A and B are shown apart, each in its own frame.
Chain A
Amino acid sequence: MRVTITVNGSAETVDDVWEGESLLYALRERMGLPGSKNACEQGECGSCTVYLDGVPVCSCLVAVGQAQGRDVRTVEGLTEGPPGDAGEARLDPVQQAFVDAGAVQCGFCTPGLIVASHDLVERNPEPSDAEIREALAGNLCRCTGYEKILDAVRLAAARKRTAGGKAVRS
């Protein structure tokens, strides 16, 4: 089966995909986008979270054929534009907040948490702690580094508010 998906803004076509294959598998193994992580394969851990037509979903639970003709944005697609002069990635403010808050331990859950957090601060620039916890309830960190993760989301939201929305690209 051939499937064409718009991934991070560009059309990607993959051939000979197995009909039962997940979007996650296609992203990681066929399109060279290993940012979305494969852990539980049952929607429990959130490590494979991507945007599908602007809505965060577990890519392990989307059949790749269901993504035909649709728009997918992965954690790789959150970086802002091309690398800087020193070759450094221009991180999205949520990604930068995770770095600055030290919200990364082993890093495995980080991409999923960043996409889920990105969606939260887009929708709600002033989330309460309860709202942050609710928004991230589907993302597991087995290093249990949740406090720093909450710090990172608060930081990202605060910076977004300070920027007044003008300097921060969605």
Chain B
Amino acid sequence: MTGTGEEMEFMRPATWADALAAKAEHPGALPIQGGTDVMVEINFDVRRPEALLDLNRVAELTEWDTSGGRLRVGAGVPYARLIRELGDRLPGLAQAARTVGSPQIRNRGSVGGNLGAASPAGDSHPPLLAGDAVVEAESAARGVRMIPAAEFYLGVKRSALEPDELIRAFWSAPASGPQYFSKIGTRNAMVIAVCSFALALHPEERRVGTGVGSAAPTPRRAPAAEAFASAELDWEGRGPLPDAASRRFGELVADAAAPIDDVRGTAGYRRHALAVMARRTLAWAWNDHRAATPERRAS
């Protein structure tokens, strides 16, 4: 990378309002938070945005809080802090965060950046989908817009975000049951997912949430698998999970994918791996749920 002198503006808003104003004025500006995706593209000359919009000075993006019993996590909270500070409340997302890159990458990368890039292989997406997360986007002109994760991903590296919008935060209820994330890669660090899968049990609603990663043009849920498992699990008696049911769940998850053959793996391998990960994560989560002492209900 050399200083080529090509025209590119660098904007450094100090406040969220200034950031929204800058994005409204320069819709082509590329937001940069941790830089772990954006700088790779710039270093390799893959992308020359008209401007970089540095969000590092907007302090509230790296804060999180709770509101109405739900977590609101700033888009720029780095993975390392998400793991440390929210790992107990968002265990599925924290598991996924632990598989992102390396310690150096986790110190900079964030869920907001993952959402902004909207790569089908992004590690945050499956747990966000399984946990019913909602993306808080905002523009100077139209204010806040809440976008459910399931409606956020539109295509390969395309999202529902409008050119004048920035991602402020994501919202998620703290886990009400066991959550798991599983990912296939060639190494235990520094890998882009060959495919990945997230599962969340929502025992109060007697419902199973899923998220499939890197096995379709977008991250996506597996609705038929969710409906099957939600109906099949013995929520009342906490009975064991029949092998046939977990296998069927795996098949339904694999059916929900639309993978391709690429450098990281074949479509057939991805379908197979998804079925295995789905079967295993459902068993892990259900066994955790069974082992957990049921809260004594008032009724």
Contacts and interface: CB of A to CB of B under 8 A. Distances in A.
Interface of A: 1, 16-22, 25, 41-44, 46, 49, 55-58, 60-63, 65-66, 68, 116, 119, 134-135, 137-139
Interface of B: 1-6, 8-10, 12, 32, 34-36, 38-40, 42-44, 48, 51-52, 54, 56, 80, 101-105, 107-108, 188-190
A61 B104 CA distance: 10
Contacts of A63: 10, 32, 35, 38-39, 42, 52, 54
B87 to A, nearest CB: 15
A15 B230 CA distance: 61
Contacts, number: 106
A61 B39 contact: yes
A112 B48 CA distance: 28
A49 B101 CA distance: 14
Contact of A137 (B6, B52, B190): B190
A19 B2 CA distance: 11
A18 B40 contact: no
A20 B43 CA distance: 8
B10 A137 contact: no
Contact of B104 (A22, A46, A66): A46
A44 B34 CA distance: 15
Nearest to B102: A138
A63 B108 CA distance: 12
B56 A55 contact: no
Contacts of B107: 55-57
